[in-house]
Amino acid sequence: MADAQNKKWLPSIQGWSWIITIVWVAIANLWHPFGLYGLVCMFTPIIIALSGRGKMHCARICPRGSFIGLFTRKISIGLKKPAFMKSRAFHWALWGVMMGAFAGLLVWSVPKGVYIVGNTILVFMEAATVLAFLFGILFTPRAWCTVCPMGFTSGNLRGLVERASKEKPQ
Ligand code: SF4
């Protein structure tokens, strides 16, 4: 694992990265194999966290975070998030349900070919984005980011990388 000390973060692109979400959804709906690009969105936060840059993806890059932040800003009604949603148990449960569903869908779709796999990833990520959008409307614009399985994964990896980096012999 990478040394987590002194890793530089990229400047933020979240002022415009929401465009990536719209372009991807538009193209992938027209040509389903492009749905596979969704895997890039899923693995980038993991790779970045393993590189020792913690949640740089969430804070500076994530197209979905940028999208929900921008488009729910004016319509968010700002309800208080229920206390149970702040618990680790809820984060793990949501992570398990979403990752389990995603893995199951991949197992089902891969034998059916690239069009079905691409469309499956697209539909899964569209559903997650709708959920994120609902969180944004009900709570605060980026409320989804406090429970998002990919953000949770990269946060956990950040902890692991930092611990490994501290334990490394100097
Ligand atoms: S928590 Fe999820 S949706 Fe939010 S910025 Fe991170 S990866 Fe994107």
* 151 CA closest ligand 1 atom index: 1
Residue 158 has pLDDT above 60, yes or no: yes
* 66 CA closest ligand 1 atom index: 5
Residues 141-157 have pLDDT tens digits of 999 999 999 999 999 99
Residues 93-136 have pLDDT tens digits of 999 999 999 999 999 999 999 999 999 999 999 999 999 999 99
Q: Alpha carbon of 128 to those of 122, 144, 151: distances in Å?
A: 10, 10, 13
What pTM, to 2 d.p., does this model score? 0.91
Query: 45 CB less than 6 Å from ligand 1?
Result: yes
Q: Alpha carbon of 109 to those of 13, 16, 118, 166: distances in Å?
A: 33, 32, 9, 42
